[in-house]
Amino acid sequence: MNKVTTGFFSFTEITDPAEHRAYNEWHQLDHMPEQLPIPGIVFGQRWVSTPACRAARLVDEEPVSAAHYMTLYLMADPIDVTLREFMDVGQQLRALGRFHLHRNAVLVGPHQWLDGHAAPRVLVGAEAVPYRPNRGVYVIVEEPAEGADPEALDVWIRSLRESWVERACAVPGVAGVWQFASSPRLQGPTWSAGHRRITVCYLDDAPLTVAAALRPLVRERWTSGLVRPVLAGPLETVMPYQWDWFD
């Protein structure tokens, strides 16, 4: 019964250290509320890479290394219409002067939803995991290694679905896992180019604690050398009016 077909990710850097509070006030109280009424927007949430979260990153490569925040909008079909309306609202707000300028989207764009998984202890179905309150996420961004054999990559991907995700969901504090990937049908002139997978582990315990427990399991993903990790680390849930991480 999952109505989500696409996850729109934005990994954002704040270019002026004094603008974090203003950015969060704008995004949480102005920008996101204007996007959520769009019919094809199912849900939206933001997370912050606090200084402690950044220090806990297992992998921290360009271009994502500069990101302070991650936003994820879950979208439904018809995705072309949803994306057009989503971008139109953004342009309308920009024309009204309601856009935060001290920001840089270091990785942005729609990714196809692949699958979802829930830890048995949380009781809710896999499709409901993103709507369950969370304390943060553990995010993994990966790309195929140069020259990686496509058939071997397919085997690796199957192993993620059949084994790795189940083991991740058994880690205390992991409520569930959703996986996304870039897709040719979602390419556009304003999105970040590339061929990548993004794995989002939803956490209901302290992100730094869960990150330490996940570290050995995350490292296992790359032993084959088939993929290049770009980012792996925890982020905390952005709570309303609690924007003092960088003060």
180-198: per-residue pLDDT in tens?
999 988 887 788 888 999 9
**Distance from first CA to last CA of the chain, Å, rounded?**
43
| pLDDT tens-place string over residues 59-78 | 999 999 999 999 999 999 99
43 strand-pairing partners: 74
206 closest CA partner among 171, 165, 232: 171
| CATH class of domain segment(s) 6-237 | alpha beta
Kindly list the distances between the CA atom of residue 247 and the CA atoms of 6, 57, 73, in Å, as whole numbers in the listed order. Answer: 34, 21, 27
9 strand-pairing partners: 72, 109
| pLDDT tens-place string over residues 113-146 | 999 999 999 999 999 999 999 999 999 999 999 9
111 closest CA partner among 217, 22, 187, 210: 187
SS3 content of the chain, % helix, strand, coil (to 5): 35, 30, 30
Burial category of 37 from C-beta neighbours within 10 Å (exposed 0-12, middle 13-18, buried 19 and up): exposed
Q: What is the C-alpha R_g of the chain?
A: 17
pLDDT band for 162, please (50, 70, 90 cuts): confident
